[in-house]
Amino acid sequence: MVRFEELQELWQNQPAPAVKAEEAVSLAHAFRRYGRRQDLINGSKAVALVLQLGYLIVRMHGHPIQLAGGLIADVCVVCFLVYEWRNQRAIARLDFAAPSWDFLRSAIRRLLAQRNPFCTRQGYALVAGSWVGITMMLAGRWTGANTARLAIQEATIAGLLALLLPVSDWLREKRWNLECRPLVERLNSLLENNREHFV
């Protein structure tokens, strides 16, 4: 068992903080700005989703299968929005008072994960749930003799999604470069400039 004196000596011999107070405050402000920007963007998405949901209910109230499909698709989108928003808020609230090597590397990993959040279980669940919901909306509209028409519409939706995916990826990359890349560069610089404190 380690004696108290040894623990006290280890504690007293710890190196000085690797990050100056001004740098920690500056980083905290930068991450709070990032959080405010994400709140604004995600709040706009939430408003658009509520409006779309209202339109869906008004437009499809007489078609239960279509309405159920639309609700399934919307619930998947809401779940993913909440998941992504929570991750972004957690990043924005990181405490830079006494960062360590693991803390800074973890912050960098979290920011890099924002580059493509769809490559996660939650992202795949969103796509699958949305696909099921859209299929139910179409199936509720075209049944029986119109099976061929349903298949054509499914293929059209798949083609549109395939065309929109590169555009979506391009927009997300642009947004990531604007919002996250400067933060990642600052954290990497902090790690490089204070390597001796973290070894």
Give buried/exposed letters for 61-93 (b at 16+ CB in 10 A, else e). Answer: eeeeebbebbbbbbebbbebeebbbebbeebbe
Highest average pLDDT, of 37-41, 131-135, 146-150, comes from 37-41
Q: Does position 47 have pLDDT exceeding 90, yes or no?
A: yes
Mean pLDDT of the chain: 78
pLDDT tens-digit profile of 62-74? 788 888 888 888 8
Least confident of 12-16, 67-71, 95-99: 12-16
Give the residue-averaged pLDDT of 178-186: 90
Higher pLDDT, 173 or 193: 173
pLDDT at 23: 77
Q: Does position 4 have pLDDT exceeding 50, yes or no?
A: no
Q: Find where tokens 């509520």 sit.
A: 50
pLDDT at 44: 93
pLDDT at 1: 47
pLDDT at 185: 92
Q: Single out the residue of 51, 64, 75, 57 nearest to residue 141, CA to CA.
A: 64
Percent of the chain with pLDDT over 90: 11
> Which DSSP category does 67 fall into?
H
Residue 137 CB: number of other CB atoms within 10 A? Answer: 22
Higher pLDDT, 191 or 195: 191
Q: Does position 13 have pLDDT exceeding 70, yes or no?
A: no
- In the structure encoding, which two tokens stand for residue 163, read together? 């065309």
Q: Single out the residue of 191, 175, 184, 169 nearest to residue 102, CA to CA.
A: 191
Rounded CA gap, 106 and 178, in Å? 20
Alpha helix segments (H runs only) across the chain = 4-12, 21-60, 64-92, 101-113, 121-141, 147-179, 181-193, 195-198
pLDDT tens-digit profile of 145-170? 566 776 777 677 777 777 777 787 78
